[in-house]
Amino acid sequence: MYTHAMKAGVIGATGYLGAELLRLLADHPSIDVSVVQASSTAGSTIAEQYPALARAYRDLVIDDVDPNALRGLDVVFVAVPSGTSQEIVAGLQPSARLVVDLGADFRLKDAASYPEWYGFEHGQPHLLARAVYGLPELNRDALLGASLIAAPGCYPTAACLALAPFILNGYVEPTGIVVDAASGTSGAGKAPGAAMHHPFVNERFAPYGVLTHRHTPEMQQLLGAQLLFTPHLAPMTRGILATCYARPAASAGITSSEQAIDVLREAYSSEPFINVTGALVSTADAYGSNVAHLTARYDARTGWLVVFAAIDNLVKGGSGQAIQAANVALKLPESSGLPRVGLAP
């Protein structure tokens, strides 16, 4: 157990996930950010890039990306695009007590899956076995003392939290599961693109990545189930709403919505960042917080179980969860620095 303030570094500090890391870590009682790096904004200050963070980081200068400059830190968060973090993480592993990668480079255990789903060869396959999947509610014991954490994707966080109590306990069939989910535009990251321009996104709700979305194998790996995943882009900044459909197993005994909700309540009764409710959930419930809001319905007419999850994609679906997992690995109070209350209205 550490008694001094831990020193942290953030690589990719001026992307959306990096900025969210800085916002949350500013209120962390045991972790101080001492080094920030981002190649595209090197030489400027965090306050210049994000005036909202000025009171916490007014004079903190952004350095160019250099893993060697982060040696000796207690924890390093790497928030760069998928496919680019492998070499950075490999350079950090010998010296940093803990590295948390917010990209996808260490989420999948099979290196051969990366060319198919992500379009790149994995250059550090020896590190895949060492990486611990950073979803505390489902993998807390494995996170204790971890040296490399693969922070989950935003869609898998919502879908797996919704489905895991039913799949892992045999309440539903492990095949034919359908996940429909919608995300705000911040999930695409800060880099500009034609598909993210306001005139294109505004008043538009559309599917993308149909049948081939890269988060599919991540969900299947964690849940041990077959599923069809269809993501949608919603004209909002933050939030994910996942609507998950599954067939109850013949022996499951789920015959009402109340029973389905009780399964969620039993699974997550002691979790600080899960809110199970009988009411329908929305992305607004989670805005700005590290809480996942869950509910379920059983449709006697069709025999389908429907489970809903709402999260903030940048907090519980990204930076907040990365900090939560780091807290567990470093044996700090799990809730340190993390908001359990969203913005309302």
| Catalytically active residues, by annotation | 154
Residues 160, 222 contacting (CB under 8 angstroms): yes
Residue 317, CA distances (Å) to 171, 249, 336 in order = 25, 29, 17
Q: Tell me, what amino acid is at 209?
A: G
Of 307, 277, 316, 6, the residue nearest 152 (C-alpha): 316
Residues 155, 163 contacting (CB under 8 angstroms): no
Instruction: Provide φ and ψ at 296, rounded to 5°.
Output: -150, 160
Of 305, 276, 274, 270, the residue nearest 292 (C-alpha): 274
- The structure tokens listed for 261 are 């909700």
- The structure tokens listed for 339 are 């908001």
Q: Is the dihedral of CA 127, 162, 332, 100 positive or negative?
A: positive
Q: DSSP string spanning 184-250?
A: -GGGG-SS--GGGSHHHHTT--EE-STTT-TTHHHHHHHHTS-EEEEEEE-SSSS-EEEEEEEPBPT
For residue 289, what are the contacts with CB-CB under 8 A and spacing of at least 6?
Answer: 312, 315, 316, 320, 339, 340, 341, 342, 343
The number of residues in the chain equals 345
